[in-house]
Amino acid sequence: MKNRRFLAALHGIHAAVLSVLLATGACLYVPALRSLFGESIRQVRSAHIAIGLCYLLLLAIAVVPLVQHLRRDRRWTKAFHVCLQYLLGAGWVASGIYLWVNHTEYLRLRQLASLVHDGLSLFIIPWAMGHIALWYVGKIRQRGAVRHSRDRGGPLFTRREVLILFAGGFIALLAGGLLRWFRPLTDSTLASLDTGKRRGYFRIYSVTSEIPPFDSNEWRLTVDGLVERKRDFTFAELTSLPSQLVVSDFHCVTGWSVTQVKWKGVPFSSLLELVNPEAAGTYVKMHSADRLYTETYELSQLLQQNVLLAYELDDKPLLPQQGAPLRLVHPDMYGYKSIKWLSRIEFTQQRGLGYWEEKEGYDLNGYIA
């Protein structure tokens, strides 16, 4: 009896913790929600991780009483529910911990982790809603004095109800695919289930809540620091320089990717002859017009022809949220090196840390490995 009351309490806490995880997860995932938080999204992320660890603890605490309980109550639906929860938990925790540590190694593993993390979350939403609905229906049935046999073993679902929950979960997965959870619609739905063919989409990140405005008459790209000729480029000047097309895969270190992105822009190296960096200026610091985001590079890392000051993405000018009018693109580096709303390029003697390198210890060079 004591065991049962303990389990009932754990069940309640479990439901609450999972709800908070889903809510904070949605804030991290849905761009509209994320942008509401602006800079404090990092605190949301920390909270999500901390609560996730509590969830792990909860699963661990429940193991022994659950096993005892299942020994006494041998109905398959009970065991099935418990196993499902633990499988979900294992998937979430393992992928979550891996994503928490922002390794630049093992790109494929990162992609898998984010797929598992997002996919399980999407699957559980209708499941949880159905679960609550059925629990509620059960309450009403009880009140109607139609005492079901299941009342003896606590809340339990019929086989039909379990199937309904499952169907709901899978429909949500499919619908999520249509809603670009997995990929945009262009290919067939089947192709969308094939990891290799999924193109992905930009999740639109910003560490501030405001998008810097772009007025083509007023906008300038400042190039200064250790250069012989400091310069301010207008947008027209920049776009009149010889441009270059680069097609490359874009990878965020948090595990999402967009394949075959077509960028158009001015090779960074074309700027060099126009400003003439001094010999001491061996590092480059880039600043965003959002006045918060920065990134740093070794000058030598930027000399290859496919490093672009990009102003077009897939044949269209960058959208405001994509960094208009200008972002850096380095095909060999992770997305966080692709600074958006680029407004200033500063040549320096020493290398500083960029935004994420400072806040979260991201790798300084960000090469995709």
Question: Which candidate, 359, 318, 356, places its Cα nearest to that of 336?
Answer: 356
* Minimum separation from the CB atom of position 111 to ligand MTE (A): 13
Place of tokens 């109550």: 73
**Burial zone of 15 (CB within 10 Å; 0-12 exposed, 13-18 middle, 19+ buried):** middle
SS (H, E, C) 234-303: EHHHHHHCCCEEEEEEEECCCCCEEEEEEEEEEEHHHHHHHHCECCCCCEEEEEECCCCCEEEEEHHHHC
Applying the rule CB under 6 A, the residues between 321 and 340 that interact with ligand MTE are: 322, 335-336, 338-340
Beta carbon nearer to ligand MTE, 185 or 319: 319
Binding mask 281-320 for Mo ion (x = CB under 5 A): ----------------------------------------
Beta carbon nearer to ligand MTE, 150 or 199: 199
Name the 3-class secondary structure at 33. helix
* Minimum separation from the CB atom of position 295 to ligand MTE (A): 8
Sign of CA dihedral 9, 15, 19, 21: positive
| Span from 83-91, 198-206, 233-241, 264-272 in contact with ligand MTE (CB under 6 A) | 198-206
Q: Is 252 in the site for Mo ion (CB under 5 A)?
A: yes
- Rounded CA gap, 65 and 20, in Å? 24
E strand or H helix at 328, and its extent? strand 327-329
Q: Is 206 in the site for ligand MTE (CB under 6 A)?
A: yes
Applying the rule CB under 6 A, the residues between 337 and 366 that interact with ligand MTE are: 338-341
Instruction: State the DSSP code for 213.
Output: P
- Rounded CA gap, 60 and 58, in Å? 5
| Span from 162-170, 270-278, 309-317, 331-339 in contact with Mo ion (CB under 5 A) | 331-339
Applying the rule CB under 6 A, the residues between 136 and 175 that interact with ligand MTE are: none
Q: Residue 285: CB partners within 8 Å, gap ≥ 6?
A: 225, 294, 295, 296, 345, 346, 348, 352
* Minimum separation from the CB atom of position 168 to Mo ion (A): 32
- On whether the CB atoms of residues 299 and 347 are closer than 8 A, the answer is yes
Select from ligand MTE, Mo ion, none the partner in contact with residue 343, using the beta carbon and a kind-dependent cut-off of 5 to 8 Å. Answer: none
* Minimum separation from the CB atom of position 34 to Mo ion (A): 12
**Exposure on the CB side of residue 206, measured as CA atoms within 13 A:** 26
Return the residue of 181, 233, 235, 293 that touches ligand MTE, per CB under 6 A: 293
* Minimum separation from the CB atom of position 41 to ligand MTE (A): 9
- On whether the CB atoms of residues 82 and 162 are closer than 8 A, the answer is no
**Burial zone of 344 (CB within 10 Å; 0-12 exposed, 13-18 middle, 19+ buried):** middle
| Span from 130-138, 222-230, 267-275, 288-296 in contact with ligand MTE (CB under 6 A) | 288-296
- Rounded CA gap, 20 and 54, in Å? 11
| Span from 168-176, 301-309, 315-323, 332-340 in contact with Mo ion (CB under 5 A) | 332-340
Count of chain residues binding ligand MTE (CB under 6 A): 17
Applying the rule CB under 6 A, the residues between 221 and 280 that interact with ligand MTE are: 252
* Minimum separation from the CB atom of position 276 to Mo ion (A): 33
Q: Is 354 in the site for Mo ion (CB under 5 A)?
A: no
| Span from 81-89, 102-110, 249-257, 286-294 in contact with Mo ion (CB under 5 A) | 249-257
Beta carbon nearer to Mo ion, 227 or 333: 333
Q: Is 127 in the site for Mo ion (CB under 5 A)?
A: no
Which residues of the chain form contacts with ligand MTE (CB under 6 A)? 202-207, 252, 288, 290, 293, 322, 335-336, 338-341
Which residues of the chain form contacts with Mo ion (CB under 5 A)? 252, 335-336
